[in-house]
Amino acid sequence: MNDFELDQLRRNPSWKAALRHYWDFQVSARATTPEFDGWIPRAAQIPQVDPATLSVVHGRLIAFGFLKFDLTNRELGMRYQLTPLGKQAIGEADVVTEPAGELAESA
């Protein structure tokens, strides 16, 4: 991860809050749903993120390479997944909670 991306993340705590939200959802879903495919539905609200700026936060996280998105069909809507860079950005301690094989699959 280069210094510019890290600096942007540090300057925007709402970005890290959104990454944390999606990471926590992914870890929880993997633990409780064996058929979980790794994609997380778009959150309408995220604690510590102003709802008026949520679309901008999502866009910036995608643009900086922290999130990837999927829009397979209209029924599922927009779905997100942390990239390896996004996982690294929320902290190495968080990354080790997911099995190593899962990290490779979600890259």
Query: For the domain that residue 69 is a member of, what is the CATH number?
Result: 1.10.10
Which residue range is the domain that position 13 belongs to? 3-106
Q: What is the mean pLDDT of residues 66-83?
A: 90
Band the pLDDT of 2: cuts 50, 70, 90. Answer: low
Is the torsion defined by CA of 11, 14, 18, 24 positive or negative? positive
Q: In angstroms, what CA-CA distances link 76 with 42, 59, 98?
A: 10, 19, 24
pLDDT in tens, 83-93: 998 988 887 43
Count of structural domains within the chain: 1
